[in-house]
Amino acid sequence: MPAANSIDAVLDALTVIIERAKTEQSRLGYFPALYRRVTREVKRGIAAGRFTDGPRMERMAAGFANRYLAAYEGWRAGQYVSRCWMLALGAAGRTDRTIIQHLLLGMNAHINLDLAIVSAEAAPGSAIHSLQADFQQINKILAEQINDAQDSIASVAPLMWLLDILGEQNEERLVEFSLAKARDEAWMEALVMAELEDAEKAAAITVLDAGVNLIGAGVLDPPGFLLRTAVGFIVRSETQDVVRIIDALQ
């Protein structure tokens, strides 16, 4: 799959992955279904002038997506990709994990690792500070779409509410890690990476990947008896119709 050079190309590439996942009945379609939804809204945001630098944001959105697309294609080809993406993509074969866990694994890798890297590339050096307003705007769009998607997830996972009452609102903790905390951490990492030389940046990415992988491991196998119990009940309540789930997420 060639690298995307525009948001429309990103949307087309995500559509290909989603349709392939539907054909294969694969949970690999969950994350790109939600991601396409967010990307479509970013495109609308650029057209509506929500960003201070629309052309830069389109380039950044394409570069951001290309990291996911490269990880996806590399993993399917049996190649080594970043550890956090290996974990997220490999988990698609797990039928004993909830829809939200599959989504959070992808969000963990893409936000905690990829967003920091791409932000630093889009605005290297001192220019990184000029990106902050648009960085916050894209995160606002992401939060809006995740909130909107929660009803869709509930329609195919009727016991998701268990995570609200078991383990002191563990669902909120998981979502908080993947959104608010992850966005803040990504920005701090971007500030650091923007000032690094290429060799230093490569080393920093390796260290960051290891840390993000540990977070993903906690999402895949969450600690705590109550949360594990809730996960078990939720999985059994979820529809097993992968295509229906993918369509709901879109």
pLDDT in tens, 172-213: 455 444 567 788 889 999 999 999 998 899 999 999 999 999
Domains of the chain by residue range:
7-249
Spatial separation of the C-alpha atoms in residues 107 and 85, rounded to whole Å: 10
Spatial separation of the C-alpha atoms in residues 198 and 92, rounded to whole Å: 33
In degrees, to the nearest 5, what angle opens at C-alpha 34 toward C-alphas 29 and 39?
A: 120
pLDDT at 138: 87
Low-confidence residues of the chain: pLDDT under 50: 167-172, 175-177
Quick check: 242 and 175 in contact, CB under 8 A? no
Which token pair is 92?
């698609």
Spatial separation of the C-alpha atoms in residues 242 and 235, rounded to whole Å: 13
Which token pair is 100?
């939200």
Q: pTM for the full model?
A: 0.90
Enter the DSSP assignment of 238: S
In degrees, to the nearest 5, what angle opens at C-alpha 117 toward C-alphas 112 and 123?
A: 130
The per-residue pLDDT for range 144-159, each reduced to its tens digit, is 887 777 777 777 776 6
